[in-house]
Structure 1
Amino acid sequence: MKKNKPMTRNENMARVKSKNTKPEIFLRKLLWHKGFRYRVNYKELPGSLDIYISKYKAAIFVNGCFWHMHENCKYSSILKNNHDFWKKKLEGNVERDKQNYSKLENMGIKVIVVWGCEIKNMMKDEVFSEELLNTISYEIINRVPDNT
């Protein structure tokens, strides 16, 4: 029997999806059941929003902890192989995120960031899920954009 060679890092990273990820779909379903209607992967505003609720002018980003360097998270680390490349790439992602968030807030749009680890916890714990969903709902409806 022919043995398949192990997947290289490049092949593995190329398979990572940027749209319609499991955490994103999970959050969208919860928001839909809460009565929120939204646009998905909205590209007409800075940052290619994961979820945009135009009625409330709210942008929701579902950020992967690795790709967006979630601070103090066990899923966020810089790879040891080709460390300089990954450090530069991930820090660039964070900087681009900050610029996009700032642009959106200057346009009067609320920016809400939900991390992948939070959604993983939501999938495991129903009480945590309800609490976080209530917090997100409150921010969508009541929070005023920072305009910094």
Structure 2
Amino acid sequence: DPLGGAYVVEAWTDRIEAEARAYIERIEAMGGALAAIEHGFQQREIHEAAYRTQRAIEAGTQVMVGVNKFRREQEVPIPTFRGDPAVQQEQVARVVAVRARRDAARVRRALAALGEAARGRDNLMPPIVEAVEAYATLGEIASALVTVFGEHREGVAL
């Protein structure tokens, strides 16, 4: 490590560590990460950082290639992807076929086990893998988890 022990690198490391520790302590003082989320802290931090970044780009103090530096004289058109409806129909037919030939009882058991694991403190990967191996769909797996955890609805933090 050619920079190991270098004063400048050590000073940067110490500064970053102190700033990170202060930031973590700030979140802990709010009651922890969950309480900070509930009070909109992280959302507010992201919004403020995005605002500062946008202002710096607009002022030219932060370079964004193609936006405020090295711009093309003419816009290059980017074609919009249009999915082939036949491919969509084929995929739907494949899911219907898999559902018809899978062991429905095994899928129900796997999804029930996933729900039980989610209600406890168990590792969710083994029951997710079992559900996948039973040919449960991604939607069915997600639904089993939403039943336990609910869906996050981001509030507005100003």
Report the TM-score when normalising by structure 2: 0.22
Higher strand share: 1
Structure 1 or 2, whichever has the larger Rg, is 2
Q: Per residue, is there more helix in 1 or in 2?
A: 2
TM-score of the superposed pair, with normalisation by structure 1 = 0.23
